[in-house]
Structure 1
Amino acid sequence: MHSNSSRTYTFVRSLALSFMLALACRAGYAQQVTSDVANFYPLLDAYAGKRSPSLSYLAKDWKHTEKWRKVGRAKLQELLAFEPEKAPLNTEILSTTKRDGYTQYLVRYNLNALQKTEAFLLVPDNLTKPTPAVIALHDHGGFYYFGKEKHTYTDNQPDILKAYVQDLYEGRYYADELAKRGFVVLCPDAIYFGSQKINPAQLVNSKGYFEKVEGVEESERIRTFNKQVAGLNEVAMNKTILASGTTWLGIIAQNDRVAVDFLLSRPEVDPERIGCVGLSLGGLRSTYLFGLDPRIKTGVVAAFSTTYEEMLQQHAHHTWMMYVPRQNEFLDLPDVASLNAPRPLMVMNCRQDKLFSIAGMQAAEQKLAGVYSRMKAPDKFTARYYDEPHSMTIEMQEDAMAWLEKWLK
């Protein structure tokens, strides 16, 4: 009798323990963190968290700011890994168009011994002395067929471009607005966009592109190019760039720095008053141009501000153009912009932006505010938030222009 009771007790206890274990496992499963990389997130998050960016201005008490700046820029250039053979600009003016209050020049110039690009140069009327200049850096948006045309007015625009500008910029071409307000403006094409876009005729497999666009109207042809040629080949492009020993962002950053060289070649430009501005990929370009080039006196970054840490769980799904191997070991994204502190910097964030988390925006703001505060120049940095999706609305454009006017005029 006693033995049977003991066996019954043991059985009930075992059943209860099994039930509790099942509940615990289920609760543990429910509490697991979800991410874009599922079960691999803990591994990558733990690895990234092993160390903080060692060359951040906030990493330690840097006794000599200029030495820190020099070391940080040198390391960043090393990681970007693009040092092509230089070449003279050899500027060509391809067309000249007189517009209301300014003249629009379509120009072509050498970026290095291997690359050329085209750009719009906007020169205000009635200049009597060198004037402030702004480099306006175009976005990505999965729209590769055009680059500079996405924020610079052109004649005979296809409907797909008009709709794009309406969606991201509320229908206004902010580069032209800057020119009307007295700035010389340069709008260069980045590699893979506009005049530097991929040529489907030279692809090993164009996936029937030419058959698909034969006889179709212009907007549909552009849409097909964006999705089925340029979009599909971003992965192959980045793999090939890495295999060649460089980085996509390294090419972009070198190209954008030549834009400063170009402006300095123009008699209309005051070399001590050059700024940069851009949305999305243009914001990333503005971050690196501002951080790397001391000739840039002020910068505006729109809708591209976060930290690597806050991207790892859900928001590392951006264009291949932004990733630089090992950069996080030395410099976080806001650390890049800080390399030009305490030069004036404005960061504009969109609260409804699905590409970045609010936590990431705020973490980047905290880092940059900390740097400017430590440099005793808190008034030269501002981060603003707009209740908008990923875009650069007219309100944001007005704030950006006011910032540029404040620090360049």
Structure 2
Amino acid sequence: MFFKRFALACLFLVFTSFWAAAQTEVSDVGNFYPLLEAYSARQNCRLSFLAKERKNVEEWRKEARAKLNELLAFTPPPAPLATQILDTIKREGYTQYLVRYNVNALQQTEAFLLVPDNLTKSAPAVIALHDHGGFYFYGKEKHTLTDNRPQILVDYIKNLYEGRTYADELAKRGYVVLCPDVLYFGSQKLDLDKMPSLTKENFPDLQSADEATRIKAFNKLANGQETIMAKTMFTAGTTWLGIILQSDRVAIDFLLSRPEVDPQKIACMGLSLGGLRSTYLFGMDARVKAGIIAAFSTTYAYMLQEYVRHTWMMYVPRQYQYLDLPDVASLNAPRPLLVLNCKQDALFHPDGMKAAEKKLSAIYTWMKAKDKFTCNYYDVPHSLTIAMQEDAFAWLDKWLK
């Protein structure tokens, strides 16, 4: 009896010591972090490939994708693409088309389609997924060449992409490239005419004669509305990322409708939100043969304490119970996957990047495909520098050409 009581006392001391230590940790959610961290640790990532020994990879993949699709919760009525070509510009080495097509029965988007010159056979294709950056006024224009760009857009591209629009570089190198707008950006941005009471009274700069001032005011308004958008989506029974993924999957449908595209050689890549979009599109759609994720790789464990301050667009309720963020990308393993991390990235804990790399490396190693997964680190802030772009191009050339 003595030893039993002694053991219980020791366990109590261990628990209370742990709890006291946890209470002293600094967190974005303060004193609530210990509660939420402890809850998150209960049976999380249960559908991860690493959660238990997997004898049948395809059965695991099917089960995990089905659960994630359920959690993403967006299956709208389908619709024919009904593609329209709105504009055509001949550029050096390729032609740029501005196209519009149906994403579903209730939603359309616009995209740039870049087709290289002198194609003699179907070519590999890349879906270039635009970033977030708090810049809602534009979408596809942030990584694709456009004429008469306002200085605010020029500065943005210089800051995040070292001044180079990588979609056009891909087209010059022989890739068909599709750059679609996603919900809330560019051609799908907020329609201010549908919310006059909010915009006129609270955002007078929207009426400014200065273009940069108007764009900044719009971005500020849209940023503030993200919370309302997310609440409305959750109330409607869906998720923002579910809507995004459905739209990005239709981008593959669009590419498959084009005679210039080799259906066996489709890849996706993107920076930041584009990296998140690439994670889910690569993981959830077997038609994607190679993926590149730039500046959006971590594990949820390292986001819970201090690094969860991201756009509402990334959150899928209850996903952590089943799949961590790198687990999503692993759903298409052993297809080629390149992750590009920024050592000075203020949005992600460096240990979270390493933890995600460790997970993915273990999965690709188990599948005897170590050469098909690479994770690079660059001593730069959150960005997709020219050096990173060049590494991405080399990766695509290796696996798609």
2:368 to 336, 351, 376: 376
Q: Could you tell me which residue of structure 1 aligns to residue 210 of structure 2?
A: 217
CA distance in 1, matches of 2:42, 2:114: 48
Q: Could you tell me which residue of structure 2 aligns to residue 165 of structure 1?
A: 157
CA contact (8 A) 1:52 1:59 kept: no
- Once structures 1 and 2 are overlaid, which stretch shifts more, 115-124 or 196-205? 196-205
CA contact (8 A) 2:22 2:34 kept: no
Structure 2 residue runs of 5 or longer lacking an equivalent are 1-16
CA contact (8 A) 1:277 1:299 kept: yes
CA distance in 1, matches of 2:64, 2:345: 30
Q: Could you tell me which residue of structure 1 aligns to residue 71 of structure 2?
A: 79
The residue correspondences of 1:74-223 to structure 2 (distance < 5 A) are: 74-203=66-195, 205-206=198-199, 208=201, 211-223=204-216
Shift, 1:199, TM fit: 1.1
The residue correspondences of 1:26-65 to structure 2 (distance < 5 A) are: 32-65=24-57
Q: Secondary structure at the match of 2:199?
A: coil
CA distance in 1, matches of 2:204, 2:382: 34
Shift, 1:342, TM fit: 0.1
- Which 4+ runs in 1 deviate beyond 3 A? 28-31
Q: Secondary structure at the match of 1:140?
A: coil
Q: Secondary structure at the match of 1:206?
A: helix
Amino acid across the alignment from 2:140: K
CA contact (8 A) 2:23 2:31 kept: no
Shift, 1:106, TM fit: 0.2
Shift, 1:331, TM fit: 0.5
Amino acid across the alignment from 2:171: A
Shift, 1:404, TM fit: 0.7
CA distance in 1, matches of 2:97, 2:45: 42
Amino acid across the alignment from 1:109: Y
CA distance in 2, matches of 1:70, 1:226: 39
CA distance in 2, matches of 1:240, 1:254: 18
1:274 to 256, 266, 271: 266
Structure 1 residue runs of 5 or longer lacking an equivalent are 1-24
CA distance in 1, matches of 2:94, 2:207: 38
Structure 1 length normalisation: TM-score?
Answer: 0.92
CA distance in 2, matches of 1:278, 1:51: 31
Q: Secondary structure at the match of 2:198?
A: coil
CA contact (8 A) 1:209 1:225 kept: no
- Once structures 1 and 2 are overlaid, which stretch shifts more, 210-219 or 146-155? 210-219
Q: Could you tell me which residue of structure 2 aligns to residue 294 of structure 1?
A: 286
CA distance in 2, matches of 1:379, 1:264: 28
CA distance in 1, matches of 2:21, 2:120: 70
Structure 2 length normalisation: TM-score?
Answer: 0.93
Shift, 1:146, TM fit: 0.1
Q: Could you tell me which residue of structure 2 aligns to residue 243 of structure 1?
A: 235
| Structure 2 residue 391 is the aligned partner of structure 1 residue 399 | yes
Shift, 1:207, TM fit: 5.2
CA distance in 2, matches of 1:302, 1:30: 32
| Structure 2 residue 255 is the aligned partner of structure 1 residue 255 | no
Q: Could you tell me which residue of structure 2 aligns to residue 231 of structure 1?
A: 223
CA distance in 2, matches of 1:137, 1:214: 30
Q: Could you tell me which residue of structure 2 aligns to residue 345 of structure 1?
A: 337
CA contact (8 A) 2:230 2:312 kept: yes
Q: Could you tell me which residue of structure 2 aligns to residue 20 of structure 1?
A: none
Post-superposition Cα deviations, 1:271-308, rounded to whole Å, max 9, x if no partner, equal 00000000000000000000000000000000000001
Shift, 1:219, TM fit: 1.3
Amino acid across the alignment from 1:124: P
Post-superposition Cα deviations, 1:204-244, rounded to whole Å, max 9, x if no partner, equal 522536642324211111111001x2111000000001000
Sequence identity percentage: 67
CA distance in 2, matches of 1:367, 1:47: 22
Post-superposition Cα deviations, 1:314-341, rounded to whole Å, max 9, x if no partner, equal 0000000000000000000000000000
